[in-house]
């Protein structure tokens, strides 16, 4: 699905939050046969954040949402909708969006969850844009939040080294003067769905995979290196822009090698790529909004900049979005 954004929708607020606990590669090496050098060379990851027992996707997401609302200068009661992207919800139901709404004092504001794994934030942005463009909402909170540490088999070296916990959030609003969101490209290939998966209650009873992340790393890597570039080019085309127009490239933070490969293929120099995978690992639906918030607070993104975002992961799903940044500098 490829779409240009005809309606004017601006990003007016952004925030993120990660747990306090830092887990280094050296700590993981005490649990499985690996080393800091081995992990860093293959993934670019040096450390990740791990949720405390009192943390959940709702608590992390609510704190990111509070910070986004604060930066937007609005009250939670001004929201019309909360869309939460998460593959690690607090419950099957109620929706984590409802729990976040309650925590931030959003009253009876509508909310629902969206599950698209590491592509979730891009899908949620598209949902929020669609609701605003259709006139069903004026101001929407989009949250990407995960506690993937609860989905890991800590004896599986192929997965436990990759993931971390965290949340990011943005506030979108109809704006007749500013054209923020410019174009989307979304897709999914169910033929590769089980290359990256977590079994749940509705899964066929004759399979006993456990509630853990299972991944065919080499095949997912092949998929990611192809789709990141293809999707990015398609969303830029939808927006009527080219790679030369991109000021900041914010890809999903899965693996530094995937990020570097995509940048080379797209012809983007290092200065135009933002990455924090070394400090947070793969935070799934949280990774892109956490990056956006850090890049904005560091002055790497400012008004008028063209930002290209791309996500990929379980589904096998992918999605990209082109945005003209509309949030003033911090």
Q: Is 32 exposed, middle or buried (0-12, 13-18, 19+ CB in 10 A)?
A: middle
Sheet with strand 306-313: strands edge to edge: 2-4, 181-188, 317-324, 306-313, 248-251
| Residues linked to residue 14 through DSSP beta bridges, in sequence order | 170
> Helix axis angle, 287-297 relative to 120-133, nearest 10°?
80
Residue with tokens 């590491």: 118
Beta strands (DSSP E) in 139-272 are 139-147, 165-174, 181-188, 196-198, 213-215, 248-251
**Contact predicate 172/10, CB 8 Å:** yes
252 is catalytic: yes
pLDDT of residue 209: 61
Among 225, 228, 134, 129, CA closest to 179:
129
Catalytic residue chosen out of the listed positions 5, 252, 291, 321:
252
pLDDT of residue 204: 56
pLDDT of residue 71: 97
- Widest CA span in the chain: 56
160 is catalytic: no
Where are the chain's structural domains?
1-330
Residue with tokens 């933070």: 253
Q: Which two tokens stand for residue 66?
A: 């509070």
pLDDT of residue 207: 55
How far is 253 from 42, CA to CA, in rounded Å? 14
Instruction: Tell me how far CA of residue 131 lies from CA of 117, 137, 157, in angstroms.
Output: 21, 6, 41
How far is 272 from 169, CA to CA, in rounded Å? 22
**Contact predicate 49/164, CB 8 Å:** yes
How far is 111 from 100, CA to CA, in rounded Å? 9
Catalytic residue chosen out of the listed positions 118, 160, 291, 321:
118
| pLDDT tens, per residue, the chain with 330 residues | 888 888 899 999 999 999 999 999 999 999 999 999 999 999 999 999 999 999 999 999 999 999 999 999 999 999 999 999 999 999 999 999 999 999 999 999 999 999 999 999 999 999 999 999 999 999 999 999 999 999 999 999 999 999 999 999 999 999 988 889 999 999 999 998 888 888 876 665 555 566 898 889 899 889 999 999 999 999 999 999 999 999 999 999 999 999 999 999 999 999 999 999 999 999 999 999 999 999 999 999 999 999 999 999 999 999 999 999 999 988
Catalytic residue chosen out of the listed positions 5, 25, 160, 282:
282
> What is the CATH code of the structural domain delimited by 1-330?
3.40.47.10
| Secondary structure class of 289 (helix, strand, coil) | helix
Alpha helices in the chain (DSSP H): 25-28, 36-43, 57-72, 96-104, 120-133, 157-160, 217-238, 256-266, 277-280, 287-297
118 is catalytic: yes
pLDDT of residue 49: 98
């Amino acid at each position: 699905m490829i779409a240009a954004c005809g309606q004017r929708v601006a990003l007016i607020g952004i925030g993120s939050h990660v747990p306090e606990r830092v887990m280094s590669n050296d700590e993981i090496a005490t649990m499985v046969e690996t080393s800091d050098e081995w992990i860093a060379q293959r993934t670019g990851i040096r450390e990740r954040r791990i949720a405390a027992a009192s943390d959940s996707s709702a608590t992390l997401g609510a704190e990111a949402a509070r910070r986004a609302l604060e930066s937007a200068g609005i009250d939670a009661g001004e929201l019309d909708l909360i869309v939460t992207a998460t593959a690690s919800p607090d419950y099957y139901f109620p929706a984590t969006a409802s729990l976040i709404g309650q925590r931030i004092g959003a009253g009876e504001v509508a909310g629902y969850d969206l599950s698209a794994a590491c592509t979730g934030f891009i899908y949620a942005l598209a949902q929020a844009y669609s609701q605003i463009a259709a006139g069903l909402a004026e101001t929407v909170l989009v949250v990407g939040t995960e506690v993937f540490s609860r989905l890991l088999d800590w004896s599986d070296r192929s997965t436990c080294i990759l993931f971390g916990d965290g949340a990011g959030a943005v506030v979108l609003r109809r704006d007749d003067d500013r054209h923020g969101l410019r174009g989307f490209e979304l897709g999914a290939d169910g033929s590769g769905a089980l290359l990256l998966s977590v079994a749940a209650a509705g899964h066929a009873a004759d399979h006993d995979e456990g509630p853990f992340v299972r991944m065919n790393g080499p095949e997912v890597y092949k998929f990611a290196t192809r789709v990141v570039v293809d999707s990015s080019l398609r969303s830029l085309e939808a927006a009527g822009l080219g790679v030369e127009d991109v000021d900041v490239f914010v890809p999903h933070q899965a693996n530094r090698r995937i990020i570097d490969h995509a940048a080379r293929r797209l012809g983007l120099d290092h200065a135009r790529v933002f990455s924090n995978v070394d400090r947070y690992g793969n935070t799934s639906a949280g990774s892109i909004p956490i990056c956006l918030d850090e890049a904005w607070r560091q002055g790497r993104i400012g008004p008028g900049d063209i930002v290209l975002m791309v996500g990929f992961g379980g589904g096998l799903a992918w999605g990209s979005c082109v945005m003209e940044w509309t949030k003033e500098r911090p």
